[in-house]
Amino acid sequence: MKCHICDRSVSSFIDEKTDITYYFCSECEYIFKASQHYRDLSDQKMRYDLHENDEDDAGYQAYFQRFLDFVLPQISEVKTALDFGCGRSTLLAQMLKQNNIACDAYDPIYHPDTLDEDKKYDLIVSTEVFEHLHQPKEVFESLTKRLQEGGYLALQTQFHPKDTEAFKKWYYHQDPTHIVFFAAKTFKMLARYFDCDYLDDNGKNMVLLRKRIKESV
């Protein structure tokens, strides 16, 4: 078995409570479930429909504000953005607009027809999306292609505990739609693969990267 991110050989372990096999890459610290546990979009929608994300709820607004408080102080000259995998709500896009950043919202389930294939952005945000992806490396690459040179990619997904026994007790992998798991090192490797600079992380669940500007010949 090879790692989806760096193509190195991976080791495996089993969560005895669920009998689910996980694979761990010691090179880039990526973890993924065995493929038979992957969920298609219809199964994921059933799970997402249970979420009660009220855009007028102060707690929900604060959740996204924490993300923006990490991202916005570190970026500059950003006028356009894309919220990739926004879910049913477009609250984060609305909050970016309040910060004078025009933001499109796309989600393959709830807003599937909003993506302009030719449009590029100064900023792409994606919160609580990457843990659901069957092909995270390919999606990461596709997002960098949608960025202007010098544009920013800001992601939020929980960093896993690197210890196997701690991972088994971790709440995040117990959601059946969460199938792949990352560490800061995983995103640092993706950054190297796709010509991005790794700017910062919060040590918990947020990373900020920037697409390199090509040097003129």
Helical axes 91-98 vs 58-71, angle rounded to 10°: 60
Helical axes 184-193 vs 136-145, angle rounded to 10°: 50
List the domain boundaries for the chain.
41-211
Homologous superfamily (CATH) for 41-211: Vaccinia Virus protein VP39 (3.40.50.150)
Query: Distance between CA 100 and CA 97 in Å, rounded?
Result: 5
pLDDT of residue 55: 81
* Tens-digit pLDDT string for the chain (217 aa): 999 999 999 999 999 999 999 999 999 999 999 999 997 766 666 565 556 677 878 898 999 999 999 999 999 999 999 999 999 889 999 999 999 999 999 999 888 888 888 899 999 999 999 999 999 999 999 999 999 999 999 999 999 999 999 999 999 999 999 999 999 999 999 999 999 999 999 999 999 999 999 876 5
- CA nearest neighbour of 169 among 10, 16, 46, 32: 16
pLDDT of residue 52: 62
Cβ pair 25, 180 in contact under 8 A: no
CA 13 to chain centre: 24
Provide the 10 A C-beta neighbour count for residue 193. Answer: 15
pLDDT of residue 214: 83
Cβ pair 78, 152 in contact under 8 A: yes
Residue 206 corresponds to which amino acid? M
Strands 121-127 and 11-15: unpaired
DSSP state of 123: E
pTM equals 0.93
Where would I find the beta strands (DSSP E) of 70-131? 80-84, 102-106, 121-127
